[in-house]
């Protein structure tokens, strides 16, 4: 006892005390229970069980007395059926629990996929809306043609205005040139020409400037 106390250490976990149950593979046992529950839920099991019980009844009723292993009231058959029912119910419940776990996992996976699909759909909807907005701002062929036609018209109008301005400038220059010429009626080009009243005379080459009269 003292040696056992000396071997116990506080820095190590204590081993659990009590009855140790045998360990088994829960997954393998669950698959086995599902197989039994799946077999018991078929028509073949019902037919086979009915045939076995019928043979049991007939044998223990019509057979010789020394060969009957379960005479009337069929106590052993009742015990067998009770054991079968007592084990069948937990096995069926275990199979149902495993199926519920699988259904829950599948439901969570479906929910996750639905969420991801919804997010992808919303992303694609936003991208399509952005593409529509971008395509609305892109110049189309008809828009380019109309803009080029309008630009050509503006260039034609600008050219026509420039030509009109040039003609006006030319006409103005020609009028100024005609006004600047002196008449050649016997008077020298370098001699001044008296005005009609004698008060003004041209003192410029073009004959437009005034000149004061002497006196």
Q: Return the number of other C-beta atoms located less than 10 Å from residue 82's C-beta.
A: 10
List the alpha helices (DSSP H) in 66-198.
Answer: 75-137, 141-180
pTM above 0.75, yes or no: no
Q: Give residue-wise pLDDT tens across range 33-90.
A: 888 888 888 899 999 999 999 999 999 998 888 888 888 888 999 999 999 999 888 8
All structural domains of the chain with their residue ranges: 25-137, 141-173
Q: Return the number of other C-beta atoms located less than 10 Å from residue 95's C-beta.
A: 21
Q: Give residue-wise pLDDT tens across range 78-89.
A: 999 999 999 888
């Amino acid at each position: 006892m003292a040696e056992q106390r000396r071997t116990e250490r506080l820095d190590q976990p204590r081993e659990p005390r009590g009855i140790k149950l045998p360990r088994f593979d829960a997954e393998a046992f669950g698959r086995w229970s599902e197989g039994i529950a799946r077999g018991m839920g078929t028509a073949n099991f019902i037919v086979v069980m009915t045939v076995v019980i019928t043979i049991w009844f007939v044998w223990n009723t019509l057979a010789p007395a020394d060969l009957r292993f379960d005479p009337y009231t069929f106590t052993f058959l009742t015990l067998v059926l009770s054991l079968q029912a007592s084990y069948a119910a937990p096995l069926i419940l275990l199979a149902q629990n495993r199926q519920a776990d699988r259904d829950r996992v599948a439901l969570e996976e479906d929910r996750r996929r639905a969420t991801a699909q919804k997010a992808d759909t919303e992303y694609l909807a936003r991208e399509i809306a952005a593409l529509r907005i971008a395509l609305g701002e892109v110049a189309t062929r008809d828009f380019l043609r109309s803009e080029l036609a309008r630009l050509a018209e503006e260039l034609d109008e600008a050219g026509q205005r420039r030509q009109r301005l040039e003609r006006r400038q030319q006409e103005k220059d020609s009028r100024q040139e005609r006004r600047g010429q002196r008449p050649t009626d016997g008077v020298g080009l370098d001699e001044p020409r008296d005005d009609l009243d004698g008060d003004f005379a041209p003192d410029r080459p073009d004959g437009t400037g005034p000149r004061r009269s002497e006196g």
